[in-house]
Structure 1
Amino acid sequence: MLKTVIEGTIFSFQLLTTIPLKKQVPYEKEQVRISVMSYPIVGGFLGILIFSLLFVMTEWTAVSPIVLTLLIATITIVYSGGLHLDGWMDASDAFFSYKSRSEKIEIMKDSRIGAFAAISVFLLLAWKLVLIYEVITLLSVKQFIIVALIPFFTRMSLGMKLYFGKLARQEGMAFAMQKYIKKKDSLSYLIMLLTLFLGIIIFFQHLLIYVSVLFLSSVSFYYVSAKIDHHVFGGITGDTLGASVEGGELWLWMTLYLLLSFVMG
């Protein structure tokens, strides 16, 4: 059992990140189930990297917030190998095409980048850079740990869409993963959330309001984006899942910015 858990966790990192883990993991039911259960861990690891960068650069260097902002954005993209950005661009081309559902699916399968993809990714990255800059200048060093939860929550939402989302087509990455997983496995996310909030209450009680708002904001984004997936595309695809990660991160950075600026400021 332990071997399966390790292999499934490794598989999730191999699928969602560029970390060079060379171990051959068999593509079997149990490994796939564990890998989806491990998605929040993949996000949490990225969150720890971002937090570590923020803490070290702020405490021991004179790096400006602008440079630090660009470093955070770069690490986020490199960590996933642009996987989610690719999904964002493909989904944007399809979303703004005003075609039928079947034609939208075909557009997402096309590897070429259209005008809508270029415009949408520019706006996504521009707004993300602005929001990251604003957040890190508003946070104190003791509050930096909050930003680690942004990729954690977005990868959890990614897994939830795989557990409960209707497939838009019977092929592709989402189809290949969903046929091996069970909805009851999502209970592992509940255990992670309870552990997270217990840890916050014990060790970082002063951050409880921030964590709670980020969680509720993540839940709201999950439901809204799931409705959009169903209404526009007829369900989820690998591209819509990637788009939800990018859109979810932007949404949570904006949530944190608004919270710091207008509520807690």
Structure 2
Amino acid sequence: MSNAGYGLLLALQFLTRVPIPLNCPWTPATSRWAVRCYPLVGMLLGGLLALAGQLFGSLPTPLLALLLLSLWVALSGGLHLDGLMDVADALGSNRPLEQRWAIMKDPHVGSFAIIALLFQLAWKGALLWAWLEAGIGLVWLVAVLGLGRLGAVALLVLAPVAREEGLAWAWQQHLGHRDLLLALLPLVLLWWLAPGWLLSLGALLVFLLSYGALIIRAFKGINGDIVGAAIEGGELWLLLVVWWSLSSVMG
């Protein structure tokens, strides 16, 4: 199998709970391709959610929104939510830098983590409900999940790693600007699937600049939890932007 093929499988194994019964080699080449495939994996997950929306479209709107949210969490295994919770606990502590890092690594769940989780899921569920009520095509989830993971690639390529340890550091060792450009290529499909997606790309840029500034000030760099939290935050922000822009047009 080619490095690109192994990279795609590595990305699926890392970012999803889709069973991949294959031991993929971790090399500089396959790890680069894995990161390049992040947005593609997001688009595949978005496609599965859109398909589920079609299959269960007869359900009442609140139940369909909850089903989609549940499937969304199940497909990712809650990986990015875990990062969001760790970052929320560290930020909420308002402690000095070293203590914030210690809190982020602590396996115990604090009150700020629970609050962040509840509000994240509540807002995502409410926005999915609003999408369905507004008649927004669920194919837009392909754009939201793909762009959310493009944000993760951007952070891994462009942002400094706070410490020479952990997943973010391991991923970043072999990355360059070319990898970010290659990660963009699958998103070309959005020209046909979700016309007007460039507005969402611009919204993602606004989010990344704001989030990146906050993270650099608070932690002096990124780690795996911070990248995972960026995916969750980016997805939520894009759900809101798509709902606001398309519902106003349809209305």
Give the TM-score taking structure 1 as reference length: 0.90
Map 1:55-70; keep pairs closer than 5 Å.
55-58=54-57, 62-70=58-66
The answer to whether residue 145 in structure 2 is matched with residue 158 in structure 1 is: no
More displaced, 217-226 or 76-85? 217-226
Separation (CA, whole Å) in 2 of partners of 1:190 and 1:125: 27
> Hey, what does 2:20 align to over in structure 1?
21
* 1:196 matched to 2:189: yes
Match of 2:170 in 1: 176
Contact 2:3 2:30 in 1 (8 A): yes
Indicate if the aligned counterparts of 1:43 and 1:151 stay in contact, CA closer than 8 A.
Answer: yes
SS of 2:195's partner is helix
1:254 corresponds to 2:240: yes
Distance 2:23 2:94 in 1: 42
TM-fit CA distance, 1:212: 2.5
Residue number in structure 2 paired with 1:49:
48
- Once the two structures are TM-superposed, the CA of residue 150 in structure 1 deviates from its matched residue by 0.6
Aligned equivalent of 2:131, options 135, 150, 153: 135
Question: 1:95 & 1:25 partners in 2: Cα distance?
Answer: 36
Between Structure 1 and Structure 2, how many residues are aligned? 251
For residues 94 and 150 of structure 1, the distance between their equivalents in structure 2, rounded to whole angstroms, comes to: 27
Match of 2:226 among 240, 243, 247: 240
- Alpha-carbon shift at residue 264 of structure 1 (Å): 4.1
Q: What SS class does the counterpart of residue 247 from structure 1 fall into? A: helix
**Deviations 1:49-105, CA, capped at 9 Å, x for gaps:** 0111112222xxx21111111111111111111100000000000011111222111
CA deviations 1:17-48 (Å, max 9, x no partner) are: 11110211111110100000000111001010
Q: For residue 103 of structure 2, what is the aligned residue in structure 1?
A: 107
CA deviation vs aligned residue, 1:95-151 (integer Å, no higher than 9, x gap)? 1111122211111111110011111111111111111101112125xx331222110
**Whole-Å separation in 2 of the counterparts to 1:87 and 1:21:** 23
Structural mapping, 1:91-106, within 5 Å? 91-106=87-102
In structure 2, how many angstroms separate the alpha carbons of the residues matched to 1:91 and 1:122? 14
Cα displacement (A) at 1:189: 2.7
Q: Give ranges in structure 1 of 5+ residues lacking alignment.
A: none
Report the CA distance between 1:227 and its aligned residue: 1.3
Give the conservation status (yes or no) of the 8 Å contact 2:160–2:221: yes
- Once the two structures are TM-superposed, the CA of residue 262 in structure 1 deviates from its matched residue by 3.6
For the residues of structure 1 that align with 2:232 and 2:148, how far apart are their CA atoms?
8
Separation in structure 2 between the aligned mates of residue 149 and residue 190 of structure 1, nearest angstrom: 12
Contact 1:163–1:186 (8 Å) recurs in 2: yes
Residue identity matched to 1:8: G
Match of 1:3 in 2: 2
Residue 208 of structure 1 corresponds to 195
Superposed CA RMSD in Å reads 1.5
Give distance in 2, aligned partners of 1:6 and 1:73: 29
Work out the percentage of aligned pairs sharing the same amino acid: 31
- Contact 1:135-1:260 within 8 A present in 2 as well: no
Q: Which amino acid aligns with 2:209?
A: Y
- For structure 2, which runs of at least 5 residues remain unmatched after alignment? none
- 2:204 maps to which residue? 218
Are 1:40 and 1:153, in contact at CA under 8 Å, matched by a contact in 2? yes
SS at match of 1:96: helix
The aligned counterpart of 1:146 is 140
Amino acid of the structure 2 residue aligned with 1:165: A
CA contact (8 A) 1:172 1:237 kept: yes
In structure 1, the residue matched to 2:121 is 125
Q: Provide the C-alpha distance between the structure 1 equivalents of 2:199 and 2:31, rounded to a whole number of angstroms.
A: 31
